[in-house]
Amino acid sequence: MTIELKKLTKRFGSLTAVDAIDLDVGDGEVLCLLGPSGCGKTTTLRMVAGLEYATEGDIYLQGARVNDLAPRDRNVAMSFQFYALYPSLSVAENLAFPLHADGLSRAEIEQRVKRISDTLQLDKILTRTPGQLAEGEKQRVAVGRSIIRDPQCFLFDEPLSRLDVQLREEMRGEIKEVLQDLSKPTVIVTHDQLEALTMADRIAVMRDGRIEQVDTPHNVFQSPENLFVAGFIGTPQMNLLPATLTGTNGHGTADFAIAGGQSMTIEVDPRIADLAQGANVTLGIRPRNLEISHDPAPDGISTKIDIVEPMGAETLAHLSDGQHDLRLVADWRVPLSEGDQVHTRFPPGATHVFTENEQVLRSAP
Amino acid sequence: MARKYREIGKAGWGYTAITSVVGFIYFFPVLWIILTAFKTRTDALAVPPKLFFTPTLENFTSVFFRASITTGTSQATDMGLYFFNSIFIAFTSVGLALIVGTLAAYAFSRYPLRGNDTYLFIILTTRMMPPIVVIIPIFLMFRLSGLAGSYWGIILLYTAFNIPFSIWLVKSFFDELNPEIEDAARMDGASERRVFFRFCIPQILAGLSATFVFGLILTWNEFLFALLLTGVETRTVPVAMARTLGGEVGVDYGLLAAIVTLFLVPIFFVTFLLQNQLLRGVTFGTVKK
Amino acid sequence: MAELATDNLGTQGAARGGFGAWLLDPKRRGALLVTPAITILFVMNIFPLMWSFGLSFFNYKASSPRVPSFRGLSNYERVLTDDKTWERFQTTAVIVGSSVLLQLIVGFLLALMFAKAFPLRRIVLMLVLTPMMLSFVSVGVFFKLFYEPTFGIVSYVMNLFTTEKFVMLGSPAGAIAGIVIADAWMWSPFVMLLVLAGLVSVPKYLYEAAEIDRASSWRTFWTITFPYIKSLLLLAILFRTIETFKLFDIVYIITEGGPGSSTETIAVFLYRNAFQFFQTSRSAALAYIVLFIVIVLTNLYLYAVNRRAQEAN
C-alpha cells in the first residue's frame, strides 16, 4: 500500500467533516473519491496533501507516517480545482516551477518541460500567461505542472469540473492515459460519477464524512452495498420502491406488497429467506432493467405512463402506479405513449433488496 | 498530538503576543500623550520621564475651567466653545457635502455626462490640491465679503472641501450596486424618485454613513483653513491647540495633552467601527479592496 | 432635493413647455443632479483658482492699498529664478523622498505581519491604524513633546547614549529627521492598508500550490505575492507623494520651518510669503507652479487606478 489512511478524522469546531475513514491506494492505482458536495472528499484529499491537519488518525505515504510533515516535505503532487496557475508566470515557467526545489540544471528543466508539453500538446502556448489561456488549456497546464516531477503520489481536486461537456469527455481520456503511464498511487476527487466510473480503478463513495463503499466502478454500479450508493450511482437514478415482504417461495422468489394495494412475485437474492414475513424493505432496480408488457404479469405491477422523454437511442419514461414514480429506459423502438396503462415487469435477478437499516441483502459470491 | 506545522495563513496566540508587542510600540506615542494628560505639571516635566505616577484629572478640568486667583472661584475657558465649534462646523458641512455629493455621485454613476471622466478628474484634483494653493484667493474673497470669521464662511468652505471626497466615495458605492435591480424597479413602474430613495439609497446606507464619518474626521482634523479663516468666535480645536503650543514661554504640556486626549476620543471609536471601510475612505474610493 | 422632482418628467415637462421643460428633460437629469455640487465647487475652488491665476500676473500685495499693475510673466520669472524657491523644493523633495520610503518599508512590514489570521487581530490592527486617523496638529503636538530637549522622552532616551545634550530639532538634519519620523509614523498605516488589500486578494490556493510545489518563501513571494501587490504599491507611492508634497501642519507645529529655513517645505514657504510677507501675487504664481505638479501627479495616480481596475477584470 502506498497511500494508507487509518481512522482519519477532521473536525472543524463541532462539525465533523471526515469521520474516521480507512482507505488504501495501491501503487499505480487510481482511486476516485466520489460524493455529493460537503461529503468530506476534498477535506480528505487536503489532509493527504498536508493542507489540512488531521484531527485524529494517521496518514501513511509509502509506509511512513506523514501527519506531522508540511506539504512540501511529503513529496506529493496536486492539481487544484481552480488550477492555481501562477498568474505572473508563463506556461513554461509554471510547468518548470515545481522543479526548482530539486536543484536541477537549466538543461534538465528545459528538457522535462519539453517532454510534458509534448505529451499534453502545450508546445504552442508555452510563452503565454495563464490569463491568455482557454479553460481547457489551463486545465492541461495544471495537470502538466503536477505530473512534471516524480512525487510519491498524485492528487487531483475536481480536475474537470470547470470544463464544458465536450472538453470534459476529451480530457477524461487524456488524463486516464497520462495516469496509466505514471503508475503512481493517485487520488481524484470528483462529484461527477461519470468521471469516477471512467477514470478510476476503484471508487470510494462518500457521504457525510464516511465512506459508504469502496469497490471497482463495475461493482459499485452493479452491486451497491447500501441504499445511498444505489441511489447515488447511475443515471437515471435507480428506482427505489418501498415494499413489504409477504412470503418467500425458495430460490430467492418472494412476494411483495406495494403500498397502494398491488403485489408481485419476483426473483431476488436467496438471502431474502433470512427476513421475517412482514419485513419492510426497499426494492431497487435500474431503469434500464425494467421491462414493459401490455398483458398482466405476476412479476410486475400495473402502471400508467406519465411522461415520455426521447433521449435519442433510448427513451426515458416516467411511470406511476398512483403512489410511486418509476423511471424506465427502453430502446427507442419500443412504442411508449403518454397516458397508456402498462405492466412494468421486474426481471429475475435484476432487483436489489435493501433492509430497513439500508443495507443490501446479498449472498457471498 | 503535537502539531508540527501550521496551515497556511493562520496563526495562534503566540503570534498574537508578538504582534501585540509591535502594535503596542507603534501605539506608544498616543499612549504617552494620554498618560501625560493624567500627570500633574511636575510629573509631566519630570526627568527621567515617569511611567508610574498618581493620576490626576486636574488637566481635564483646567481645559474647561480656569481657577481665578483673586476670587477663588472657577471661570469657564473658551475651550468649551472651541469643541462646540469643531462639532457644529464639522456636522453641518459634512452633512451638506454628503447630500450634494450623493446626488452628484448618483449622476456620475448612472447618467454619465459627456466628458464624465474629465469632470471626475477635476473634482478629484480640487481635493488633491494643496490647500495653500486655493487659500490665497479665498482669504481675499472672505475678507472682501465679510465671510471671514463667520460660521457660514468656514462651513461653506468645508462643504466644498468635503464634496469631492463625498462624490468619489459615494460613487464607488453606487458603482458596486447591481443596476439590474433599478431597471427591474423601473419596469415595475417605479418613478425615478422612488428608484433613488427606495432602491439605491437603502442599499448604500452603510457606505453613506462611512462617508459621513470619514468626512467628520477629515473636517475635525483640518487645520490650515481653520487657522486662516476662523475668528475668535468660530475657532476650532486644532487651531486652539496650535495656539496653546505656540503661545507663551512655558507650554503647559499636561493641559495640551488633555486637550489632545479629548480630541482623540471620537477618533478611536470611528477607527474601530470603520476598520473595514478605512482603505476606501482614505483613498477617496479609488481603491476598494 | 428639488432636483429629484424630476419624476415622470417626460410627460409633465412636455405639458408645461418652455424653459421648465428644457431643464427637466430626462436627458439633462445627470447635469441637474450634478449642478449643486459643481456650483459650490466652482464658487469655493474654481473661481478662487481663476482669481489667483489672474493675480499671478499683477503685482498685488494684500497689505498695501496701492492699485496693482499688470506685470505679465514677471512673477513666474522671479519665482523660478529665486534660489530660495529651489531650496524649498529641495527640502520638500528630501522630506517627501525619505518619508515615503520610510512609510513603504514600515507599512510593508506591518502588512506582512497582519496578513495572517490570528486571535484578536482586529484589536491589534486598531492600535496600528489609529495614527492615520489623528489630526496633523495632534501628531505635531505629540512629537514636539517627545523632542522637547529637557523632558521629552526621545531626548531622554537619546541622552542615555550620548554625553552631549541631545537636541533633536537643533540641527537641520535632526529637524528634517524629526519631521520625517512624525509623518512616516502617521502614514505608514496607510501603506499597510493598501499592501494588506493586495495581500488578502491573493487566492489562498496559489500559496497552497506553491507549498505543494516546494517553492522557497523567497520564490513564493516574488512569483505569487509581489505581482498582486505591485499595482497597489504604486498607488501607495503616488498617493503618499502627493499628500506629503503638501506637508504643512506638522512642520508648522514642530519646527515652524526652522532651524533657519532648513525644514521649510514649499507649503510653509507659500504660507509665509502669502500671509506673513503679503507677497500675494508672487505667491499666487508659485501656487500655480505647485498646482501644476500636483495635477501631473494626480493624473499619474488616476492612470494607475484605472490600470489596476483593468487588471482586475
pLDDT at A305 over 50: yes
**Fold adopted by A3-232:** Rossmann fold (3.40.50)
- Mutation test of the interface with chain A: which of B3, B6, B7, choosing the one with the most A Cβ atoms within 10 A? B7
* Mean pLDDT, range C59-76, rounded to an integer: 75
Q: Is residue B123 less than 8 Å (CB to CB) from chain C?
A: yes
Interchain CB distance below 8 Å, B1 and A67 = yes
pLDDT for res C35? 86
Residue, of C25 and A342, whose pLDDT is higher: A342
pLDDT for res C13? 38
My answer on whether C32 and C149 are in the same domain is: no
Q: Looking at chain B, which residue has its C-alpha nearest residue A57? A: B1
pLDDT at A1 over 60: no
* Mean pLDDT, range A96-110, rounded to an integer: 88
Q: Which residue of B1, B4, B7 is in closest CB contact with A51? A: B7
pLDDT for res C10? 41
Contact A196, A190 (CB under 8 A): yes
Chain B CB contacts of A53 under 8 Å are: 3, 5, 7
pLDDT for res B6? 62
Average pLDDT, chain A: 89
My answer on whether C126 and C252 are in the same domain is: yes
What ipTM score was computed for the predicted complex, to two decimals?
Answer: 0.83
The residue type at A341: Q
Question: pLDDT by residue for chain B (289 residues), tens digit each?
Answer: 445 566 666 778 888 888 899 999 999 888 888 888 888 877 777 777 777 777 888 788 877 877 666 666 667 778 888 888 888 999 999 999 999 999 999 988 888 777 778 888 888 888 788 888 888 888 888 888 888 788 888 898 899 888 988 998 898 888 888 888 888 888 888 888 888 888 888 888 888 888 888 888 888 888 888 888 888 888 888 888 888 776 555 677 788 888 888 888 888 887 777 777 777 777 777 776 5
pLDDT for res B81? 87
Contact B68, B75 (CB under 8 A): yes
Interchain CB distance below 8 Å, C294 and B30 = no
My answer on whether C95 and C28 are in the same domain is: no
pLDDT at C313 over 70: no
- Mutation test of the interface with chain A: which of B3, B4, B5, choosing the one with the most A Cβ atoms within 10 A? B5
pLDDT for res A235? 86
Q: What is the DSSP string of A275-336?
A: SPTT-EEEEEE-TTT-EEESS--TTEEEEEEEEEEE-SSEEEEEEE-SS-EEEEEEETTS--
What's the domain count of chain C?
2
| Residue span of the structural domain in which B202 resides | 79-237+264-282
Q: What is residue A348's DSSP assignment?
A: T
Band the pLDDT of A166: cuts 50, 70, 90. confident
My answer on whether C40 and C91 are in the same domain is: no
Interchain CB distance below 8 Å, B241 and C138 = yes
Interchain CB distance below 8 Å, C124 and B282 = no
pLDDT for res B7? 66
Q: What is the DSSP string of chain C?
A: -GGGTTTTHHHHHHHH-HHHHHHH-GGGHHHHHHHHHHHHHIIIIIHHHHHHHHHTTB---TT--SPP-B-TTHHHHHHHH-HHHHHHHHHHHHHHHHHHHHHHHHHHHHHHHHTSB-TTHHHHHHHHHHHHHS-HHHHHHHHHHHH-TTT-HHHHHHHTT-SSPP-GGGSHHHHHHHHHHHHHHHHHHHHHHHHHHHHHTS-HHHHHHHHHTT--HHHHIIIIIHHHHHHHHHHHHHHHHHHHHT--HHHHHHTTT-STTTT--HHHHHHHHHHTS--HHHHHHHHHHHHHHHHHHHHHHHHHHHHHHHHH-
Interchain CB distance below 8 Å, A53 and B2 = no
Contact A352, A230 (CB under 8 A): yes
Contact A278, A289 (CB under 8 A): no
Interchain CB distance below 8 Å, C274 and B111 = no
pLDDT at A172 over 60: yes
Taking the CA of residue A356 and the nearest CA in chain C, the distance in Å comes to 43
Among A150-159, A170-179, C187-196, the range scoring the smallest mean pLDDT is A170-179
Interchain CB distance below 8 Å, A51 and B8 = yes
pLDDT tens digits for range C274-299? 888 888 888 888 888 888 888 888 88
* Mean pLDDT, range C238-246, rounded to an integer: 87
Residue, of C6 and B253, whose pLDDT is higher: B253
Q: Which residue of C137, C242, C308 is in closest CB contact with B241? A: C137
Residue, of B58 and A109, whose pLDDT is higher: A109
pLDDT for res B72? 64
Chain B CB contacts of C33 under 8 Å are: 103-104, 106-107, 111
Under DSSP, is residue B49 helix (H, G, I), strand (E, B) or coil?
Answer: coil
- Of B225, B229, B233, the C-alpha closest to B147 is B229
Taking the CA of residue C267 and the nearest CA in chain B, the distance in Å comes to 6
pLDDT at C264 over 70: yes
Band the pLDDT of A48: cuts 50, 70, 90. very high
Between CA B43 and CA A147 the distance in angstroms is 70
- Of A37, A280, A11, A309, the C-alpha closest to A157 is A37
Interchain CB distance below 8 Å, B132 and C287 = yes
Among A146-150, C254-258, C264-268, the range scoring the smallest mean pLDDT is C254-258
pLDDT for res A155? 92
Interchain CB distance below 8 Å, C208 and A84 = yes
Residue B2 lies in a domain: no
Chain C CB contacts of A98 under 8 Å are: 212-214
What's the domain count of chain B?
1
pLDDT at C180 over 50: yes
Between CA A71 and CA B7 the distance in angstroms is 9
pLDDT tens digits for range C159-169? 788 777 777 78
- C60 CA to centre of own chain: 30
pLDDT for res A250? 79
Q: Is residue C61 less than 8 Å (CB to CB) from chain B?
A: no
Backbone φ/ψ region at A189: left (φ over 0), alpha (ψ -120 to 50), beta: beta
Average pLDDT, chain C: 82
My answer on whether C131 and C37 are in the same domain is: no
Q: Which residues contact B176 (CB under 8 A, 6 or more apart)?
A: B288
Between CA C266 and CA C290 the distance in angstroms is 8
Cell numbers given for B153: 464662511
Residue C199 lies in a domain: yes
My answer on whether C22 and C147 are in the same domain is: no
pLDDT for res A309? 92
Cβ within 8 Å of C, B 150-209: 156-157, 159-161, 163-164, 167, 191-194, 196-197
Between CA C161 and CA C175 the distance in angstroms is 19
Instruction: Sort strands A263-267 and A253-258 into parallel, antiparallel or unpaired.
Output: antiparallel
Q: Is residue B245 less than 8 Å (CB to CB) from chain C?
A: yes
pLDDT for res A204? 95
pLDDT for res A185? 92
Instruction: Sort strands B65-67 and A291-293 into parallel, antiparallel or unpaired.
Output: unpaired
Band the pLDDT of C141: cuts 50, 70, 90. confident
Residue, of B119 and C210, whose pLDDT is higher: C210
The residue type at C92: T
For residue A170, list its beta bridge partners: none
At the second CATH level, the architecture of A239-354 is Beta Barrel (2.40)
Average pLDDT, chain B: 82
- Mutation test of the interface with chain A: which of C212, C229, C311, choosing the one with the most A Cβ atoms within 10 A? C212
Residue, of A212 and B187, whose pLDDT is higher: A212
Residue B14 lies in a domain: no
Residue B258 lies in a domain: no
Chain C CB contacts of B229 under 8 Å are: none
Band the pLDDT of A284: cuts 50, 70, 90. very high
pLDDT tens digits for range B262-284? 888 888 887 777 777 777 777 77
Taking the CA of residue C308 and the nearest CA in chain A, the distance in Å comes to 15
Q: Is residue A27 less than 8 Å (CB to CB) from chain B?
A: no
Interchain CB distance below 8 Å, C38 and B217 = no
Long-range contact list for B172-176, CB < 8 A, 24+ apart? B172/B207, B172/B280, B172/B285, B172/B286, B172/B288, B173/B105, B173/B204, B173/B207, B173/B208, B173/B211, B173/B285, B174/B105, B174/B106, B174/B109, B174/B110, B174/B200, B174/B204, B175/B109, B176/B288
Q: Is residue B278 less than 8 Å (CB to CB) from chain C?
A: yes
My answer on whether C285 and C173 are in the same domain is: yes
Chain A CB contacts of C210 under 8 Å are: 86, 97
pLDDT at C67 over 50: yes
* Mean pLDDT, range C121-132, rounded to an integer: 86
Return the percentage of chain B with pLDDT > 90, whole number: 9
Residue B41 lies in a domain: no
Contact B260, C178 (CB under 8 A): no
CATH number for the domain including B128?
1.10.3720.10
Interchain CB distance below 8 Å, B1 and A51 = no
- Of A23, A25, A26, the C-alpha closest to A5 is A23
pLDDT tens digits for range A228-256? 999 999 889 999 999 999 988 878 889 99
Contact C172, C259 (CB under 8 A): yes
Chain C CB contacts of A50 under 8 Å are: 211
pLDDT for res C12? 43
For chain C, the chains sharing at least 3 beta-carbon pairs closer than 8 angstroms are A, B
Q: Is residue C161 less than 8 Å (CB to CB) from chain A?
A: no
Chain C CB contacts of B37 under 8 Å are: none
Chain B CB contacts of C126 under 8 Å are: 268, 271-272, 275
Q: Is residue C89 less than 8 Å (CB to CB) from chain B?
A: no
Q: Is residue B104 less than 8 Å (CB to CB) from chain C?
A: yes
pLDDT for res C95? 92
Between CA C196 and CA C228 the distance in angstroms is 10
My answer on whether C136 and C213 are in the same domain is: yes
pLDDT at A205 over 70: yes
Residue C68 lies in a domain: no
**Cα-based distances in Å from B126 to A171, B131, B134, B164, B275:** 57, 9, 9, 7, 26
Band the pLDDT of C1: cuts 50, 70, 90. very low
* Mean pLDDT, range A315-336, rounded to an integer: 90
My answer on whether C34 and C122 are in the same domain is: no
Q: Which residue of B1, B2, B5 is in closest CB contact with A70? A: B5
Taking the CA of residue C228 and the nearest CA in chain A, the distance in Å comes to 9
Q: Is residue B99 less than 8 Å (CB to CB) from chain C?
A: yes
My answer on whether C273 and C166 are in the same domain is: yes
pLDDT at C28 over 60: yes
| Residue span of the structural domain in which C212 resides | 84-312
